Structure 1
């Protein structure tokens, strides 16, 4: 696609520049080069499913990130950053719409709230993949919003498995540079993730971790001084610290 083709189809959606899925769909269906058709289709999945921002449109920031995939860039930190940022925003406002990959969030949800239907799932193993299980599980349309509300309101402690049993790393990344937590850079903003605080909350390690300044790690790109903060976070990732994983 030429720059002129893209410029003519870019639309402003709120604070973001996007391109409509309808325009990309036309390219997927008609472009003569098969590989380029597949690339455009993959870009659409990233923009509409993994990083959704405007309904039916692919955000410009997603195209920049998609262009980095050939360099071996992993999207996991970006997915985590945008998930945490969106959930934090909804929690603070007590309302709003989650902006992120709903399918991944549902996979996490089902993995941890493992007795939702009062039936224990099979024992996890090293070869277990929650994503493969979700894909293979027939979709259920009989669980309404009201039923989910009843399930959540009646959850007991024994119904929840906070630590994923299938994840068996020898070490855990818990600190980067001068940060006492993990700074995560997304595609629209950044957020800090205090793993040691999570471990304390979930009874793995009983001590009070340092969290002063954690809130300052959450910001949107475009705010005053955001470029300096990005440089600090990027440099911090070059100095990671790890600790041995403990079980209880």
Structure 2
């Protein structure tokens, strides 16, 4: 970056002018003739170390020991509670754009930032501009382990193993030390070494790599490990490329196995600032590993650049963009990333929704259950109305049956009375009536009696 922007806080407008001028003068990270080395599909292994034993040790510690760790090494133990979504991780990796060290989703760029990692892994001892840098001359792996663990050279040499091209120490040996070491401060340091080596910078399953001890050795100098974590995150997503620049229009990051650059001006919208054209010249060539004859000079140049940082001062005005940025973004050449399909497309606002708070989630759940209860009450009220109608119908049926029963009883009484009269008539007929007339009357009375008897039995 130009000298007038170095080592001070600069206004948004000045950085805006400088960035667009540099981009016009030097060009983008890649050009039209660029041929991507990336395949259309990336296979990613999401195998990780089992951290249950490490977490169990942390859970057993008292508050005083935990506070000692927080003050010295930051809030890393909170990462124990994060569940890795392996499917999401595989999908996100497909959208990693190595040409600009960012995720590209259609017209939107997203990138992990130093500010976010600093807030997440908060540690008051770290100085934000005092970064970890791999020293040209460092103590041997064994010497660094002796300093961190306080163990003898013989013990250290017996535990050191080789995995591929690097040396390492097994987690089992460190676990035994954490549980049995008489020095409480050393237990905290060994736990930190294990946490960095198994969770933050894993290389071989079940082992802590030599490079992790170099980082931990330098943390006592109040250097910040955030750029190193960010660098290794980017390098794990990028293919290895050779860097050749001696000055930087973007931010170079030194990791523990190599270095890479990223362009924070690319994602000003993430901080609520106006997005203008960022400078990203040769960003695609920024990555290199700590190998070969020239890497030490590159590390020295990056370390010097971090002594002259520039911070952007601006007023948060919402996620707006300049017209020039929209035009540049439309014609920018990306690396080989999935292209968005317009079929079934939805606005980006539907995807970038604010996560509701726990209170809002509880409120929504209460409202949902309350709505279900209201629907159930309404259904019960409806059933009650139908039941009351059924009761009325049943009452009318019962009343009708009672009336019919009374009528039949009255008819039965009439029948009895009529039968008595018939008996009297029969007696009179025997005395003075004709035989034919008498038989006729008997048959009629008998027929009536049978009819009403059947009717009575039906009830």
Please tell me the TM-score bracket, short chain as reference: 0.5 to 0.7
CA offsets 1:202-234 (integer angstroms, 9 cap, x no match): 995444333222133211111341111111111
Match of 2:305 among 236, 242, 245: 236
The residue number in structure 1 matching 2:139 is: none
CA offsets 1:100-142 (integer angstroms, 9 cap, x no match): xxxxxxxxxxxxxxxxxxxxxxxxxxxxxxxxxxxxxxxxxxx
Give the gaps of 5 or more residues in structure 1.
Answer: 93-176
User: Does structure 2 conserve the Cα–Cα contact (< 8 Å) formed by 1:81 and 1:191?
Assistant: yes
The residue number in structure 1 matching 2:253 is: 184
* Whole-angstrom CA distance in 1 between matches of 2:263 and 2:276: 13
1:25 partnered with 2:175: yes
Against the structure 1 CA distance between its residues 200 and 32, is the aligned structure 2 distance closer, same or farther, given a 3 Å change threshold? closer
1:199 partnered with 2:268: yes
* Whole-angstrom CA distance in 2 between matches of 1:207 and 1:44: 42
1:43 partnered with 2:197: no
User: Does structure 2 conserve the Cα–Cα contact (< 8 Å) formed by 1:81 and 1:190?
Assistant: yes
The residue number in structure 2 matching 1:84 is: 234
CA offsets 1:34-60 (integer angstroms, 9 cap, x no match): 222222122111111111111111111
The residue number in structure 1 matching 2:317 is: 247
* Whole-angstrom CA distance in 2 between matches of 1:221 and 1:32: 37
Give the gaps of 5 or more residues in structure 2.
Answer: 1-150, 319-459
Against the structure 1 CA distance between its residues 183 and 30, is the aligned structure 2 distance closer, same or farther, given a 3 Å change threshold? same
- Within 5 Å, give how 1:37-116 maps onto structure 2: 37-89=187-239
User: Does structure 2 conserve the Cα–Cα contact (< 8 Å) formed by 1:200 and 1:208?
Assistant: no
- Within 5 Å, give how 1:124-163 maps onto structure 2: none
Count of residues in Structure 1 that have an aligned counterpart in Structure 2: 163
Deviation at 1:200, TM superposition (A): 7.2
Q: Aligned with 2:252: secondary structure?
A: strand
User: Does structure 1 conserve the Cα–Cα contact (< 8 Å) formed by 2:229 and 2:255?
Assistant: yes
Deviation at 1:247, TM superposition (A): 3.1
**If the length of structure 2 is used for normalisation, what is the TM-score?**
0.33
The residue number in structure 2 matching 1:214 is: 283
1:2 partnered with 2:72: no
Q: Aligned with 1:18: secondary structure?
A: strand
User: Does structure 2 conserve the Cα–Cα contact (< 8 Å) formed by 1:200 and 1:207?
Assistant: no
Deviation at 1:29, TM superposition (A): 2.0
**If the length of structure 1 is used for normalisation, what is the TM-score?**
0.59
More helix per residue = 2
1:12 partnered with 2:162: yes
Deviation at 1:201, TM superposition (A): 9.4
* Whole-angstrom CA distance in 2 between matches of 1:77 and 1:209: 20
